[in-house]
Structure 1
Amino acid sequence: EWTTRYDKMLEREDIDVIGVFTPSGTHCDFAIKAIQAGKHVFVTKPMDLSVEKCDVAIEEARNAGVILAVDFQLRYNETNQKIKRALDNERLGRLILGDLRMKWYRSQEYYEGGYPHGWRKRRETEGGSAANQGVHFIDLLQWFMGPVKTVYGRSGTFAHDIETEDLSMALVTFENGAWGSIVTTTTSYPRLGSSIEIMGDNGSIVWRDGNIVLYERKDNSEPSLDEFQLDPGKPRNIIEDMVSAVKRGSHVMVDGVEGRKTVAIINAIYESSKTGKIVELD
């Protein structure tokens, strides 16, 4: 069953949860309408392109007593959850540096396509390589390393006829004192993939395209992430997560407050690129 009448759909009493999969700059617009209709809601990444709209959605959900979630699918991955457990348990010691490299390729035809036509190349609906493609890995980086404190960024358009950026770079500092760097681009031909490298004073972890390619520690010659046992009953995706949250009252993997963090980081990259100044996050 399908419909083009969103407001009419929200009136249905047999719908408990709304999923929003529209162009990035409209996510919170649709989410807020669903929340005001008394529905639980999740949005695909990013939560939105506007921090202000994220704040409105979070407040509306809080007042309505409904669930607001963001689908960051990589957080459900078992390997990534074990990395998070290892870092939280200080297996790498004091964190020093976290580097993110996402070097992907997107053709001009990719930006011209989509529905509505061309939404991926417009600033108000897509954002750029950081906001659309890199957001998955920016979320992982800040989840692994902790909250970001400052951002100094550069963004530009090098290989496409688009309003948005196809290359962004940033130097970041984390609240725990660690430093980091971010590179996202859709100009890399061939696609060179994605990697996150995390270094602490006791060792390092290198994640590349979903796999651990290095895990070494000073205090253990044969470390293994398998020391961390995960709950087999935990949700494996956003659908299972929302069902569990609605039926059993469990907390979703990424709520609105958590999902807002990547939007703030990406906005800081773009703002810093415009002003040439370091941006401090709230």
Structure 2
Amino acid sequence: MIEKKFGYGIIGCGTISKWHAEAAAATGKYDLIAVTDVRKESAERFAEQFHCMAVDSTEELLKRDDIEIISICTPSGFHATDAIKVANAGKHIIIEKPMAITYEQIDDILKACKDHNVKMQVISQMRFKENVLKAKEAIDSGKLGKLVIGDVSMKYFRSQEYYDAGGWRGTWKLDGGGALMNQGIHGIDTLQYLMGPVKSVFAHAKTLARNIEVEDTAVAVVEFANGAIGTITGTTSVYPGIPRKFEIYGTKGSITLVEDTITLWDIEGETEKIKEGDQERKLDSASNPTNFGIEGHIMQLDDMAEALIHNRDPKVNQYEGKKPIE
């Protein structure tokens, strides 16, 4: 039996759009039909590479009856406007992080999706990683006992040239924030995915090294609804950049992940133990924003297709995508 292929389009042909096109192809469940970008030459170059059409505007893309799902790969500040247009056209949405940069924008997206019965998948690829799921199962099943501490450390390096190369980066209007909103959003999402809902946060945020409007360094103390506490550390200003690290500690066990590699697994009563230093460092984007694999995007785009086939919600729908922004 031949599986249904969904007509697929992309808005925004910048760096991340390549991950979406390649992931869609890898699932075997999408047929990339057309793309658009405010820079016509970018859309045409992308279309030539991926053997699809380049159209002149989002509106033209949305008029096509042969497109059912659209990926939004524009700068963060345009996500809400684009998502609402796509929802109003009755197309299903795959959107890069963050799904929006203000609460008002999020509420408008939620309403548009509900009004037009549209499904949305927010890219949060860490949730689909095998070792993250393994850690979550251990936590949710109570193997770590009472959770005590949950930390994430994201000490990245982004040069001034990185910010200058994209006029939207590091601005309140189009980036919506800095080290936490842009680079740190996946880590924040993964921490709350593992530890559970957040009750309260207080933080210090500063611009210490880069000539940008938003923060390049922030540290937050978090209280989780289950009573545990933790920290969120994020910066884009430390050389050479250190891989993201999650540390989860309970009364009966501890788990540490560096990116999606388990570097510490020590649970009371279990013979399987992993000590720090036992694992090799894997691909990470600590100093290069494009240095990450495509596997997470493949799993999320496949989940979106399966959600439509079986009429269920995607695993990271708009309500899940809202959580790390809150």
- Provide the C-alpha distance between the structure 2 equivalents of 1:105 and 1:220, rounded to a whole number of angstroms: 38
Aligned equivalent of 1:124, options 173, 195, 203 = 173
Deviation at 1:218, TM superposition (A): 2.1
Matched, 1:31 2:93: no
SS of residue in 1 equivalent to 2:84: helix
- Provide the C-alpha distance between the structure 1 equivalents of 2:210 and 2:243, rounded to a whole number of angstroms: 19
SS of residue in 2 equivalent to 1:131: helix
Query: What corresponds to 2:307 in structure 1?
Result: 245
- Percent pairwise identity: 39
SS of residue in 2 equivalent to 1:90: coil
Matched, 1:178 2:228: yes
Total equivalences in the alignment: 252
Deviation at 1:236, TM superposition (A): 4.8
Query: What corresponds to 1:20 in structure 2?
Result: 72
Aligned residues of 2:217 and 2:237 also touching (Cα < 8 A): yes
Aligned equivalent of 2:139, options 56, 66, 87 = 87
Aligned equivalent of 1:10, options 51, 62, 80 = 62
Unaligned residue ranges in structure 1 (runs of 5+): 225-234, 265-282
Deviation at 1:173, TM superposition (A): 0.5
Deviation at 1:48, TM superposition (A): 1.2
Aligned equivalent of 1:149, options 199, 211, 216 = 199
Aligned residues of 1:129 and 1:165 also touching (Cα < 8 A): yes
Deviation at 1:84, TM superposition (A): 1.1
Q: Over residues 78-132 of structure 1, what are the superposed CA-to-partner deviations in whole Å (9 max), with x where a residue is unaligned?
A: 1111111111111101111101100010001100113xxx111211111101011
RMSD after superposition:
1.6
Aligned residues of 1:77 and 1:236 also touching (Cα < 8 A): no
Q: TM-score, normalising length from structure 2?
A: 0.75
Query: What corresponds to 2:237 in structure 1?
Result: 187
Letter in 2 for 1:122: T
Deviation at 1:13, TM superposition (A): 0.6
Query: What corresponds to 1:269 in structure 2?
Result: none
After TM superposition, the runs of 4+ consecutive aligned structure 1 residues lying more than 6 A away are: none
Matched, 1:216 2:278: no
- Provide the C-alpha distance between the structure 2 equivalents of 1:50 and 1:4, rounded to a whole number of angstroms: 28
- Provide the C-alpha distance between the structure 2 equivalents of 1:52 and 1:69, rounded to a whole number of angstroms: 19
Aligned residues of 1:154 and 1:170 also touching (Cα < 8 A): yes
Correspondence list, 1:34-183, <5 A: 34-114=86-166, 118-126=167-175, 127-183=177-233
Unaligned residue ranges in structure 2 (runs of 5+): 1-52, 275-296
